[in-house]
A and B are shown apart, each in its own frame.
Chain A
């Protein structure tokens, strides 16, 4: 009897690996397919282009990963981009010209994002409202704030240096991409190699057990929303700077869905408890490549949403087949 044991162990191990590496394999297949289907796909300029396009929702998705692993969800991130963007432009135009104004705008954008995230966290943990409902409400509130403050008009920065952050390059790679990758590294360490990260996973998989193990469940949960908010702040300032302007009715529309889709494609369970940052990074890039390829291949714009939806479905079905 003892001899038979290793065999099922091996199959289980193999199956586990398949599920864990599914996002990576999907990305690989997509890259191979894309490079065959389009001659422009592998051009360095196209690659940096795709990476820059995904970096804004990517940064948001990184923050969202913590919230989702902790068992929550944040629907307000898209609207938050708009309101933080509008406030950032007001701050930078008020602060005048010069680099210090840029520095002030950047730091206040991150701080503002953190504050709005904290607001979400407070409503959810103190008011004991389900995160879906609470952030559905703040989604509407943030968008409305952005529209009201700006009188629904597009706001343009008058600072000469501001557009350099989102539009600049270092060693041929756009700044937003650097920020995205660096932030991914930092968040990875935070999630996998810190007590906080382990607590996030613990409260996501079973909050009761977590609280018996002396984890301050509500405090940890609250912090995940602050992280998501601050990430939104970073994304908002990069996007605003790239465009040198912000449109309150248009900025961040459907970002919450793109971010959630990226997190899920990356293998993080929506029920919470487990997930990885690198998975999210891959999920983000997959979504970006799909978008890029649909454009490069000239697929009818009316069909693009369907292709995107199908790929999300397939990715998720492939990954979670192993769980059942």
Chain B
């Protein structure tokens, strides 16, 4: 019995050694990517882009190994990061589910000397080499400017907000600031739809009941826009001329491209591909390369909020992406 155990142990140790040697020769650098799992379209797109970036870089950079993990909640994501740290990663690319919950574990990773890239949601106490995010203020501002122009500076707007986290407030505040310049545009109501199609459908149904005359809807997210469109369609109302979402989902960009719904004529980007840029930053980080032709190291990168209309829709359309 004891003899058998010994053999068993030797076999296991041997196998472990093989895997050890195998991995240590294959990869010089290890990069971990941690994202929230798909709870709405945008996060589904996020994971797709993370995997796409990993695939692209794996072909180019043979000495880098990538691990992609997705967590359904903030506390689960803490565990994911701990698991990645056990694997001795050299860089961490993370889009924190909720910043306060992840603050401590990201701090631990950063203090260990792991090159840390925080994406989209900023930590209260910065603990990263680079922060990369979309322009939330820009999303609200660009959307508001376009909408005001479409409405010729007058009419009634209802607005549907996202989850009640700081990002949402930045967008809504910027939107309202621009609208403040148009005294004839009235924001009738603003309710949270949590970036969920279904929730937005319900909220829009209530708005349609409550307000007999609505000219435009702003809902900052293309997933919610689908719910809004459904509610309008079911109500049979024709007073609504313009609806504007945001982020730039595949379906909505397709609508813009093909002119299939005359209410939908634009969107403002807040691209889930930012995680792919985050992975690129990490690759440069571990290799200690400069970014492009830059002479300096950026610590914050804010992506432009771009207006997508029929003219440029083709550039923002990715057939394979789920979002």
Residues in chain A within 8 A of chain B (CB atoms): 32, 35-36, 38-40, 42-43, 45-46, 49, 52-53, 56, 152-156, 163, 167, 239, 242-247, 250-254, 291-292, 295-296, 298, 301-302
Contacts and interface: CB of A to CB of B under 8 A. Distances in A.
A163 B104 contact: yes
B80 A295 contact: yes
A243 B16 contact: no
Given A154-B100, A244-B103, A244-B104, A239 B75 contact: yes
Interface string B65-91: 001111111110011101110111000
Given A49-B86, A154-B99, A243 B12 contact: no
Given A40-B86, A243-B104, A253 B72 contact: yes
Contacts of B164: 152-153
B80 A298 contact: no
Contact of B101 (A43, A45, A154): A154
Contacts of A301: 37, 47, 68-71
Given A154-B100, A250-B101, A36 B124 contact: no
Nearest to A163: B104
A65 B131 CA distance: 45
A40 B87 contact: yes
A245 B104 CA distance: 9
Which of A36, A244, A250 has its CB near the most chain B CB atoms (within 10 A)? Answer: A250
Nearest to B108: A167
B301 interface: no
Nearest to A42: B16
A35 B9 CA distance: 11
Given A42-B16, A250-B75, A298 B103 contact: no
A292 B80 CA distance: 8
A252 B69 CA distance: 20
Nearest to B17: A39
A245 B16 contact: no
A291 B79 contact: yes
B97 interface: yes
A232 B97 CA distance: 23
Nearest to B19: A39
Interface of B: 12, 15-16, 19-20, 23, 37-38, 47, 67-75, 78-80, 82-84, 86-88, 97-101, 103-104, 124, 164
A49 B104 contact: no
A156 B16 contact: no
A253 B36 CA distance: 14
A35 B98 CA distance: 33
Contacts of B98: 154, 247, 250
Contact of B100 (A46, A156, A292, A302): A156
B101 A247 contact: yes
Contact of A156 (B23, B69, B72, B124): B124
B83 A295 contact: yes
B100 A245 contact: yes
A46 B74 CA distance: 20
A153 B26 CA distance: 44
Contacts of A244: 103-104
A296 B65 CA distance: 13
B269 to A, nearest CB: 25
A53 B73 CA distance: 13
B97 A53 contact: no
A56 B82 CA distance: 15
A23 B179 CA distance: 63
Given A245-B103, A247-B74, A298-B67, A35 B80 contact: no
Given A243-B100, A253-B72, A254-B72, 9 more contacts: A56-B75, A243-B101, A245-B103, A247-B101, A250-B74, A250-B98, A295-B79, A295-B84, A298-B68
Which of B78, B80, B87 has its CB near the most chain A CB atoms (within 10 A)? Answer: B87
Contacts of B23: 39
A52 to B, nearest CB: 8
Contact of B12 (A36, A156, A247, A251): A36
A32 B73 contact: no
Nearest to A153: B164
Contacts of A156: 100, 103, 124
Contacts of A52: 82
A35 B12 contact: yes
Contacts of A46: 83, 86
B15 A36 contact: yes
Contacts of A163: 104
Contact of A43 (B12, B86, B124): B86
A156 B12 CA distance: 45
